[in-house]
Amino acid sequence: MRTLLGVPPVRRDLIKRHLYLVPNSIVVSRGCPHSCDFCYKDAFFEGGKGFYTQAVDDALAEIERLPGRHLYFLDDHLLGNGRFAHALFDGMRGMGRLWQAAGTVQSVLKPRLLEKAVDAGLRSLFVGFETLNTHNLKAQNKVQNLNRDYTAAIQRLHGLGVMVNGSFVFGMDGDDEHVFDQTVEWATQQGIETATFHILTPYPGTALYLRMAQQQRLLHSNWDLYDTRHVVFQPTHLTPAALEAGYWRAYQNFYRWSSIFQGAATKESWVHQMRHIAYAGGWKKFEPMWDMVIRLRRVARLRPMLENVLTGFGKFSNETKRPGPARAVPQHVQQ
């Protein structure tokens, strides 16, 4: 048995809020309903439930205790339980919150769910595209992405004022030396605001690890030296060195100013374009500035700037103010 029912409230008083840009991190579910071969989830949750949620009224009560406007949901898949998500967003509507979270292409394309999330304050979503290769999706058991229109999902998010942080994994068996440039070009043309690139990594206990071990493709099992920026297996159509170099090149090329401006140019209005430039530029182009303000313990002063970008400089701001206590939900909703 695994459950979040009856979990004591988080000791938020122990957090030194002035040291963090995003002190309102929150988790209202555990795990994910899907089982991708490369994901840590099945190994991490082995022997019990792999996806479960808080009761909705408990989640709303925790949100209500958090000061300020901005929230960052760290859930692996906040939209993974439709009943829970619908009820949570109904309860959050009118709170005046701005928040970021993670979801899947499949959940984005579901009718009504994304609209409810946006009404509740969603302004940026981490989306696991992972690969543009259908063979790779099948091989990694990423079945929830099969036959999904990635472009339609991105347009749906952008049309509702939600920025996209796309996740991509390099090194799957269908990848060759062209995958890096092709992925970056596609993401830029789609107007994705930010991208997170990864090297395929066979975490111990995953289906991918077992397959790599059986095929004798693991380069080592010294996890004391493990680093997700390095290759620990033998790719099919790439050398380990080429995979690692391509990974770094993808980051460099996607976050060039020319790529950022190219992505911004896909947006239909100057507000969307400036929002894209501010978010993508702030994400990767000002790391020395971020380092300085963190060392000076002044990063919390930049939170209003983050909120302004998330709201599109006011264009996507929630009009309603927080009414006081969170609206009660009639019954517990539990996976």
In tens, the pLDDT along 128-143 reads 999 999 999 999 999 9
CA pair distance 29, 78, nearest whole angstrom: 7
Residue 154 lies in a domain: yes
How many Cα neighbours within 13 Å face the side chain of 225?
7
Residue 166 bridge partners (DSSP): 127, 195
Count other Cβ atoms within 10 Å, centred on residue 321: 9
Q: Round to whole Å and give the CA distance between 99 and 2.
A: 27
**Number of structural domains in the chain:** 1
The conformation of residue 21, written as its DSSP 8-state character, comes to S
Burial (Cβ within 10 Å: 0-12, 13-18, ≥19) of residue 111: exposed
The answer for residues whose C-beta is within 8 angstroms of residue 69's C-beta and 6 or more apart is 96, 97, 98, 307
pLDDT confidence tier of residue 228, bands split at 50, 70 and 90: low
- Cβ burial of 247 (10 Å; 0-12, 13-18, 19+) is buried
Q: Contact 177/246 with Cβ under 8 angstroms?
A: yes
- The CATH number covering residue 271 comes to 3.80.30.20
Nearest-5° Cα angle at 255, 252 to 257: 115
Residue 310 clears pLDDT 60, i.e. is over it: yes
What is the extent of the structural domain holding 258? 22-310
Q: What is the mean pLDDT of residues 31-50?
A: 93
Residue 114 inside a domain? The answer is: yes
195 CB burial (10 A radius; 0-12, 13-18, 19+): buried
Looking at 35-39, 139-143, 145-149, 311-315, which range is the least confident one? 311-315
| Domain contains 323 | no
Please tell me the distance from the alpha carbon of residue 158 to that of residue 168, in angstroms, as a whole number: 19
Average pLDDT score over residue span 64-85: 96
Are the beta carbons of 39 and 206 closer than 8 angstroms? yes
**Mean pLDDT, all residues of the chain:** 91
- Whether pLDDT at 318 is above 50: yes
Residue 38 lies in a domain: yes
63 found inside a domain: yes
How high is the pLDDT of residue 227?
Answer: 67
pLDDT at position 319 over 90: no
In a domain, 267, yes or no: yes
In tens, the pLDDT along 199-210 reads 999 999 999 999
In a domain? residue 153: yes
Q: What is the pLDDT of residue 312?
A: 86
Residue 257 inside a domain? The answer is yes
Residue 160 near residue 118 (C-beta atoms within 8 A): yes
